[in-house]
Amino acid sequence: MYKKLSIGVAVPAYNEEKLIQKTLSTMPEYVDHIVVVNDASQDDTLRKIQGCAKNDSRIIVIDNTINGGIGYSLKKAILRATELGADRVAVMAGDAQMDPARLKELLDDMDKRGLDFIKANRFMHFDALKAMPRYRRFGNVIVTLLTKFSTGYYTIFDTQNGYVVYSRNIIERLPWHMVGNRYEFENTVLVALSIVSAKVGDYPIPALYGEEKSTIKLFSTTMRVLKVLVKGFWQRVYYKYVLYGFHPIALFLLFGTLLSGIGFIGALWTVYEKIWHNTTPTSGTVMLFVLPIIVGLQMLLTALILDVIEEGKS
């Protein structure tokens, strides 16, 4: 218990035989439930988890017979911890990258600010950030910027950081069927949080980089994340600004996209005619395509401004 709150920790583990024991042995004493999901590891991870469980009654082991992905494992662990009575559920990866000693800070800041969900932010610690591999840092920044637009949480950063804490209330309200099963988990859970208007914030905590090796396949993972971000954006707009409560943002986005698309297609056609058929367009023809582009972009900018304002109301 921590400040009269039951604390659960969800730990996904896939081929973490080197670091899973360190992860579990450093869990704070005030943690009540530690739900570890072995995602069909091909090494000695399961046996080491079971060995830790024999010495620590807080550890509950879930063994996936088929690899379902980190998101699949996390959903099972988070929901299981909630069933066990946890009021707050934190996520700590099995590779010892997340410092358990900083969990109190997340819990305190979460309650102080009245948040439903809080996440660590590595980008607020410059020295620790330099320890992050350069290609991961670059990819994280790009995906984070795109995730801002997709989720509507413009004030948070480092969206790929998995060190987070959920409140029991938000776990029970979240549409988990919309959350991805693999490395797009962090992005899709933010979309789901936005749909239910959860109050989200981040807190500066550096990551710990050591002997762990990432199993992420950069290109395929990036493509999958980009796909879910586009899908997630329109899901959020539909649920939040159309279905649950109509808002002009939906109209501005719809007509702004249509007008801009029509204008750009017309402009490309005009260029094509000029290059291949040497047909010089009249000023009227040019304006016919320029005007929709200008109006469309203005409508999209208006939608963006209104969307940013909406974040402060959640």
Examine the domain organization and report whether 154 and 38 are in the same domain: yes
Examine the domain organization and report whether 183 and 263 are in the same domain: no
Examine the domain organization and report whether 257 and 305 are in the same domain: yes
Of 69-83, 125-139, 215-229, the poorest mean pLDDT is in: 125-139
Examine the domain organization and report whether 148 and 208 are in the same domain: yes
The whole domain housing 220 covers: 7-242
How far is the CA of 23 from the CAs of 11, 62, 226, in angstroms? 9, 16, 31
Give the C-alpha separation, 145 to 123, whole Å: 13
DSSP state of 266: H
Examine the domain organization and report whether 237 and 254 are in the same domain: no
Examine the domain organization and report whether 271 and 188 are in the same domain: no
Q: What confidence tens digit (pLDDT) does each residue in 22-43 have? A: 999 999 999 999 999 999 999 9
Mean pLDDT in the chain?
89
The pair of three-digit structure tokens given for residue 226, joined into one six-digit string: 């980009």
How many structural domains compose the chain? 2
Give the C-alpha separation, 254 to 294, whole Å: 15
Nearest to 254 by CA among 239, 273, 234: 234
How far is the CA of 61 from the CAs of 73, 107, 203, in angstroms? 11, 24, 29
Using a 10 angstrom Cβ sphere, with 0-12 exposed, 13-18 middle and 19 or more buried, the burial of residue 83 is exposed
Residue 199 falls inside a structural domain: yes
Would you place residue 134 in the very low, low, confident or very high pLDDT band (cuts 50, 70, 90)?
low
How far is the CA of 152 from the CAs of 158, 217, 235, in angstroms? 14, 27, 12
- The listed range with the strongest mean pLDDT (137-146, 170-179, 213-222) is 170-179
From 206, 226, 242, the end of a domain falls on 242
From 226, 242, 258, the end of a domain falls on 242
Would you place residue 128 in the very low, low, confident or very high pLDDT band (cuts 50, 70, 90)?
low
* Better pLDDT: 159 or 127: 159
Q: What confidence tens digit (pLDDT) does each residue in 292-304 have? A: 999 999 999 999 9
Q: Domain with 48 in it: what CATH number? A: 3.90.550.10
